[in-house]
Amino acid sequence: MQFKRVVVTGMGALTPLGNNLQDYWTALSNGVSGADMVTLFDTTKFKTKFACEVKNFNPEDYMDRKEARKMDRFAQFAAVTTDEAIIDSGLNLDKIDKTRIGVIWGSGIGGLTSFFHESADFARGDGTPRFSPFFITKMISDIAGGLVSIKYGFGGPNYTTVSACASSNNALIDAYLYIKLGKSPIIITGGSEACINEPAMGGFSTMRALSERNDDPKTASRPFDKNRDGFVLGEGSAALVLEEYEHAVARGAKIYCEVIGTGLSADAYHLTAPHPEGHGVINVLKWALEEAQLSPKDIDYINVHGTSTPLGDVAELKAISAVFGEHAYNMNISSTKSMTGHLLGGAGAAESVATIMAMKHNLVPPTINHFTDDENIDARLNLTFNKAQSKNINYALSNTFGFGGHNATVVFKKI
């Protein structure tokens, strides 16, 4: 079998920094924080009262009101970003075989807001089951990809990957592999999450995973800073059109980049904590480079998982130093979660888009909110603190890791 080459020909984004791809990139490159006080529910009794919400989002600006009411917010996000990505790709859907186009989506939690509201309404009632007929379809994680396939008539592979915060990188990797194996010429992939709600905020807070910097939310997500105190919950979505290279060239598509390597591993260590020496991350980085047929010195930039947690940030950088050696000091490293917050299952897609845009513009988005060096972090690493840096980026990595010890890495190449 001869493997196919896989390229990215379209992208869309809906994030706490902007409601389309260009606004998202502009905010990233300017070091803007998407954090603010929560507006989606009453946080009076919650320890953490802020998050990175998608702003000024009205689903009726994008879809019929009746359709919007059938969908959880995470699925609405998916619909909006896939529309943008497909338009951006320039695909003429009347001239391609839609039965072979797939949709592989990622979401760590799915319709938690719908589940919570329906359950709360039932608990407040007299025990009579008055559930919405759309309750189940709003809740299940796979529905986002299903809705996209129904809207466009895409009849190829269709499913959702669930691996916590690695979910949408897992989706991208699966999409890449299906095209590489010749099973589909085009797959729409990405991820979405909309969990700024009572159970998510309460649950993560009880785990002591969230920052509690309520007095200054815009500086609360501070990866690699000595005084980081947890991640900032975010929401949003990003979509990518992955396409077989020859197919893209034949139709004259613009090509953002090529996907050339992927890695998947497990820490096999703890429910929520990373392996302290980053063993699983070391493996995923090595395997991604191996598949890409690159050496560590080839990599110019890593968009790291970098959530702003005390343990996770250190473990990830230890793993990078172990794999890249002296070259670790020549690369740029940054965490865009310092600006977007943590989009959970949507993080990998949003950060892959950020990485690809960084390659396109030869500009590394910053890790904002750095104030105090952490003595446990090697000061020689270029973590791109506080301001974007110009750099010729030919090869870049995007890391995402999830509770349960799931690790997923993707390697991109400039064309």
Which sequence positions are flagged as catalytic? 165, 305, 342
Sheet containing strand 186-193, edge to edge, reads 158-161, 102-106, 186-193, 236-244, 6-14, 257-266, 406-413, 395-402, 301-303, 332-334
Q: What is the DSSP string of 54-117?
A: --S--GGGTS-HHHHHTS-HHHHHHHHHHHHHHHHHT--TTSS-GGG-EEEEE-SS-SHHHHHH
DSSP E strands in 204-307: the ranges are 236-244, 257-266, 301-303
The answer to whether 104 touches 161, Cβ cutoff 8 Å, is yes
Question: Angle CA(323)–CA(374)–CA(333) in degrees, nearest 5?
Answer: 40
- Judged by DSSP in three states, 287 sits in helix
Closest to 406 measured CA to CA, from 231, 267, 262: 267
Q: How many whole angstroms from its chain centre is CA 283?
A: 21
